[in-house]
Structure 1
Amino acid sequence: MTEKYPVMEEAQPIYLEGNKVGILISHGFTGSTQSMRPLGKAFAKAGYTVCGPRLKGHGTHYEDMEMTTHEDWIASIEEGYQWLKERCDTIFVTGLSMGGTLTLFLAEKYPEIMAVIPINAAIEIPDMEAMQLSNDRFLDAIGSDIKDPEVTELAYEKTPVRSVIEIVELMKNVKDNLHSITCPALILVSTEDHVVPPDNSQVIYDQISSSEKQIVQLKNSYHVATLDYDQQLIIDETLRFIEKVLNKAKV
């Protein structure tokens, strides 16, 4: 299946070459790489190699998304992971929303990942359980849940019901295997989120088997925290965490 629509300018994949430490960054459901670009640039400025894949069916048109499956989204993020593996010795993974879900998926599948930083990661959204039963083909947009009125997320104006069914399956699969995650984890969560219930992050914290794990609350952002008031806090906390993990690995 090839996509019918051109890729939007701000939705292009991110490839920034730096040192031998790679950071894989993933955008979320119906969103685009635009939501992760500021983080990617900050990580690259710190010297790291950054890859931010465009998940298949995203960043074009919601009709493209309707034709993709969660296996396609996994394939997109794994492609980015392989790109980093060819260039780096150590890889960290971070993602927003469904990007956080994919971050957790990778940690479940690839125990060699150094650490994960899920941001408002989704493992269970009760509203979506109901949405997937809709008789409509498309539902209202879920993107751009941002506290800062000056900022807009580049996301689809409609949500395909077929895609909701796919993310629900992905979340279930990831949730069922959280116990297999053992790498260090920094879990970032907005205290007010109108898309993913904040208690998802507590469940992730409780169920992963990592001995080194922490939750940091984002008190001044809604769901798309990477574009919101806490953007700099996310960057600072992530870079501090990565440095701490790397220093510990050297000992």
Structure 2
Amino acid sequence: MQEQWKVMKGAEPFKVEGMNAGVLVSHGFTGTTQSMHPLGSAFAEAGYTVYGARLEGHGTHYEDMEQSTYEDWIASIEEGYTWLKERCDYVFIAGLSMGGTLALYMAEHHPEINGIITINAAVDVPAMEPVRHMEERFIDPIGSDIKKPDVTELAYEKTPVASVGQLLDLMKKVKLNLPRVECPVLLFVSKDDHVVPPENSQLIHDQISSTDKTLVQLENSYHVATLDHDQQKIIEQSVTFMKHHI
């Protein structure tokens, strides 16, 4: 049934084979791989094997997303992780927004992961809770929270209410298990974020059990920081972080 939806141009998953250290990159809620292409390309240029995951129900049509669950999104990440594990001795995960939430989920369930990088990850967004109980099927979009002029995120023009409920359930699950995260973690947080309260990253930093954890503030980007002014800072510090852990 889901095959009827075509993947949008620019939203396709991507893979690049490189050295025996790999990185799985994940976009966020209602977004696409387009938001992670700059990071994926830079990691590939640095020699890493890269898997850019397209989360189930994303990059097609918002009605397709409406049918997907957070278990489907986890399965999309697990698939990429399996692909990398078959090729690499070291695996890292980098995620934007809900992609960061999924990176945390993976660290909670796969202690062998060598490290994760979260960019404006979400585990607690109280403003979303009332949405779960709305009668409408779709609400306004949340994409393209970008400070840089003339840059647009490839994301859905509507947000399925059912999917917000799935996101809330995922965040609750991940937040509860944060102490299970023990791998090295690099957290990026935008000072100004109109989608996920910046306090989320501090909360994550404080509740994970990792002894190797660094919280980096992004002064000149909004939520989709991977496409914003601090893009190069994220790339450079992420590459340094991964080099240090292989």
TM value normalised by structure 2: 0.99
Tell whether the 8 Å contact from 1:96 to 1:224 is kept in structure 2 after alignment. Answer: yes
Structure 1 counterpart of 2:68, which letter?
T
1:239 aligns with 2:217: no
User: How far apart, CA to CA, are the structure 2 residues paired with 1:144 and 1:126?
Assistant: 21
| Residue of structure 2 in register with 1:85 after alignment | 85
| Residue of structure 2 in register with 1:153 after alignment | 153
Q: Deviations over 1:123-162 (max 9, x none)?
A: 0111111111111110000011000121000000000000
Structure 1 counterpart of 2:109, which letter?
K
| Residue of structure 1 in register with 2:39 after alignment | 39
Measured after TM superposition, the shift of residue 245 of structure 1 is: 1.9
Tell whether the 8 Å contact from 1:21 to 1:90 is kept in structure 2 after alignment. Answer: yes
User: How far apart, CA to CA, are the structure 1 residues paired with 2:138 and 2:14?
Assistant: 29
| Residue of structure 2 in register with 1:215 after alignment | 215
User: How far apart, CA to CA, are the structure 2 residues paired with 1:40 and 1:94?
Assistant: 9
1:180 aligns with 2:180: yes
Q: Deviations over 1:88-111 (max 9, x none)?
A: 011011100000000000000000
| Residue of structure 1 in register with 2:191 after alignment | 191
Aligned pairs, number: 246
Measured after TM superposition, the shift of residue 53 of structure 1 is: 1.1
Q: Deviations over 1:29-70 (max 9, x none)?
A: 000000000100000000000001100000000000000000
| Residue of structure 2 in register with 1:249 after alignment | none
| Residue of structure 2 in register with 1:73 after alignment | 73
SS in structure 2 at match of 1:165 = helix
Report 1:1-251 matches (<5 A). 1-246=1-246
Tell whether the 8 Å contact from 1:4 to 1:64 is kept in structure 2 after alignment. Answer: no
SS in structure 2 at match of 1:195 = coil
Identity of aligned residues (%): 63
Q: Deviations over 1:107-126 (max 9, x none)?
A: 00000000011110000111
Structure 1 counterpart of 2:150, which letter?
E
SS in structure 2 at match of 1:60 = coil
Measured after TM superposition, the shift of residue 13 of structure 1 is: 0.2
SS in structure 2 at match of 1:153 = coil
Structure 1 counterpart of 2:208, which letter?
I
User: How far apart, CA to CA, are the structure 2 residues paired with 1:200 and 1:3?
Assistant: 35
TM value normalised by structure 1: 0.97
Measured after TM superposition, the shift of residue 201 of structure 1 is: 0.2
Measured after TM superposition, the shift of residue 9 of structure 1 is: 1.2
Tell whether the 8 Å contact from 1:120 to 1:201 is kept in structure 2 after alignment. Answer: yes
Measured after TM superposition, the shift of residue 3 of structure 1 is: 3.9
SS in structure 1 at match of 2:245 = helix
Q: Deviations over 1:206-235 (max 9, x none)?
A: 000001101000110000000000000000
Measured after TM superposition, the shift of residue 76 of structure 1 is: 0.4
User: How far apart, CA to CA, are the structure 2 residues paired with 1:40 and 1:28?
Assistant: 14
Unaligned runs of at least 5 residues, structure 2: none
Unaligned runs of at least 5 residues, structure 1: 247-251
User: How far apart, CA to CA, are the structure 1 residues paired with 2:4 and 2:178?
Assistant: 36
User: How far apart, CA to CA, are the structure 1 residues paired with 2:12 and 2:223?
Assistant: 22
User: How far apart, CA to CA, are the structure 2 residues paired with 1:97 and 1:4?
Assistant: 27
Where do 4+ consecutive residues of structure 1 move more than 4 Å? none
SS in structure 2 at match of 1:175 = helix
CA RMSD of aligned residues (A): 0.7
